[in-house]
Amino acid sequence: MSNILVVIGSARTGRVADKVAEYVTSNIEAREGVTATVVDLAALNLPFYNNEQPAMSPDRDQTDENVATWSKFVSEADSVVFITPEYNHNLSAIQKNALDWLFFEWNDKPVTAVAYGWSGGSLAVAALREVLTNVKAEVAIDMAQLGFMKDLNPDGSLLDEANVTAQIAAAIDEIVVPAGEPVTV
């Protein structure tokens, strides 16, 4: 059984992220031998990064209960998909903070995104790629980029369902760890 962690990267009231997460989890749950675990960063309530040591240091401190939970979520996942809004041509702060809290947990982890925004969240995707490369994740080639007024309405409802479905399927295809393959944790 392959376990994909779906990370909701918005804390906004009335966020579109919930609808996009629903499209993504439906795709995952329709697959045989694959499960989805959803983590809502708003509910997880991580502190802003406040460790004396960076996350890549063996001396880092993960005594904060929410940080330890986040570390466990990522460690136990076979792969990760971020539900990624674009804020000011970049990642949302809550998502960047969550990325910064971990390092070893990201190493060799297959990670993708389903991004959305007026240009498909393309600049958030570019920023995400840079961070994931730095934490030595296995960065997906084809991340999904859903455009407002093209693929989705700005409230997250579907405009071009076929294209949304195809993009999400391609993104998830790339990070599914085939059954029987050793899992990196």
Ligand X SMILES: Cc1cc2nc3c(=O)[nH]c(=O)nc-3n(C[C@H](O)[C@H](O)[C@H](O)COP(=O)(O)O)c2cc1C
The residues binding ligand X (CB under 6 A) are 10, 12, 15-17, 85-89, 117-119
Q: What is the dihedral sign for C-alpha 75, 93, 47, 133?
A: positive
A 10 A CB-CB count for 98 gives: 23
- Output the six-digit token pair for 119: 């240009």
- Tell me whether residue 63 or residue 88 sits nearer to ligand X (CB atom): 88
The full DSSP string for 51-117 is -SS-TTSTT----SHHHHHHHHHHHH-SEEEEEEE-BTTB--HHHHHHHHT-STTTTT-EEEEEEEE
> At residue 131, what are phi and psi to the nearest 5 degrees?
-65, -45
Question: What's the min distance (Å) between Cβ of 129 and ligand X?
Answer: 16
Q: By beta-carbon distance, which residue lies closest to ligand X?
A: 117
102: which residues sit within 8 A by CB, 6+ positions away?
Answer: 55, 70, 71, 74, 135
- Tell me whether residue 10 or residue 27 sits nearer to ligand X (CB atom): 10
Contact status, residue 126 vs residue 156, Cβ threshold 8 Å: no
- Tell me whether residue 85 or residue 110 sits nearer to ligand X (CB atom): 85
Question: What's the min distance (Å) between Cβ of 37 and ligand X?
Answer: 19
- Tell me whether residue 46 or residue 126 sits nearer to ligand X (CB atom): 126
Question: What's the min distance (Å) between Cβ of 126 and ligand X?
Answer: 12
Question: What's the min distance (Å) between Cβ of 163 and ligand X?
Answer: 17
- Tell me whether residue 87 or residue 103 sits nearer to ligand X (CB atom): 87
Question: What's the min distance (Å) between Cβ of 90 and ligand X?
Answer: 7
